[in-house]
Amino acid sequence: MNYITSRVFKRETLMMVKGFTLGVLSIGLSGCASFIANEITSPKKSNIKSNISDWTVERQFCDRKNYCVKGIGLGDTDAIKSLKFNFHISDNHKIWRYEANNDSVESAKPLENHLILVFAGYTQPTQTLFVHQKWLQLMTGADVIVIPSAENSETFKFGLDYASPLIAEIQRLNPAKVHLIGFSMGALAASEVEQGIDNARLYLFAPMTDFDHSAKAIYDIFYKDKIYAKFIRQETLEDAIQIIYDKSGTTSKDTDLIAKLNGVKSPTFIYASDKDKVVEHSDFNAIPNDNVDVNIYGELNHLEMVALLRQALMVDFVSDLLERPVLKSDIATLGILCDFDDKDCLNQLPD
């Protein structure tokens, strides 16, 4: 098998954020903040069907206190040269394709001795990241590992508990450079790891800056117009958020990403959208740190941002990753991103 496709349908993609308010939907009528808090922080079962287990390996990383976290690495995937990501939500149906030329794959490995850690966003299934994980490996030659979303930890701590085991593993591997890619809530874990190493580059997509804001925004997007919403008080959501902080042993200061970015010492790249209701993009307007580069895109919602669903976004990210300008026309590096019915665009790569 040498062709891998990831198909993300409307129902499957929506689960990435609907899980956030599953507690509200299931038992919100009772006003039980503790139940809502438990549902928010519990692992979610993915409905996405895939065969990526045939191509991935589970890797465990432990710190000196024997606290361990799991990551997803790539197994024997040498035969995979063609990749496809099919994204369909509401009226937005796009296809991203990448075709690795055998000669170029063998010769072009600009990040061969580097490590790339990809931190999944809240309830973002690792299956949806496999295609981009393999693309990063083919394009860069780096070792690419996906770290599951924060609610998969033994005790929900916003992913902050991932830092110590991952820092220990980085020290063991001693890569030339570490690239930390964080999606949404995964930005917190990525930035926490950055603080413990001195050879990092940080790439944050639609990063969650305020958990309170994000939780309420997701609820408003999906449930504010439902008939049962009038029975759920705003105070209940606020109580649930406070319960999450209390049970995780953290405070809003621990999840204050902007404060962390103000002091970040590594080259850091922010990718956000002015139409993302889950993340307030204006938070990035005044970060007094020359190490932070902010890119704002228009007309992309939260899911579209974490799916890298804009050619300009891909160009900026890959240019930052490779530390050289990459043109939109460089499909050997970027692949192609097309409307599902744009045959001329899709025909740029052979079937």
Q: How confident is the model at residue 349 (pLDDT cuts 50, 70, 90)?
A: confident
What CATH fold (topology level) applies to the domain 50-210+253-346?
A: Rossmann fold (3.40.50)
Q: What are phi and psi of 154, to 5 degrees?
A: -60, -40
Reply yes or no on whether the pLDDT at 234 is more than 90: no
The overall average pLDDT reported for the chain is 88
**DSSP element (H, E) containing 138:** helix 130-140
- Asked whether the beta carbons of 20 and 215 are under 8 A apart, the reply is yes
Range from 48-57, 101-110, 141-150, 342-351 carrying the lowest mean pLDDT: 101-110
Q: Specify the higher pLDDT residue, 114 or 229.
A: 114
Range from 98-107, 116-125, 238-247, 307-316 carrying the lowest mean pLDDT: 98-107
Domains in the chain: boundaries: 50-210+253-346
> What is the tens place of the pLDDT at every residue in 6-43?
665 444 445 444 544 444 444 444 458 888 788 888 88
Long-range Cβ contacts of 311-315 (<8 Å, 24+ apart): 311/337, 313/271
pTM above 0.85, yes or no: yes
- Look up residue 231 and give its two tokens: 């029975």
- Asked whether the beta carbons of 46 and 15 are under 8 A apart, the reply is yes
Q: Given phi > 0 = left and psi -120 to 50 = alpha, else beta, which region is 335?
A: left
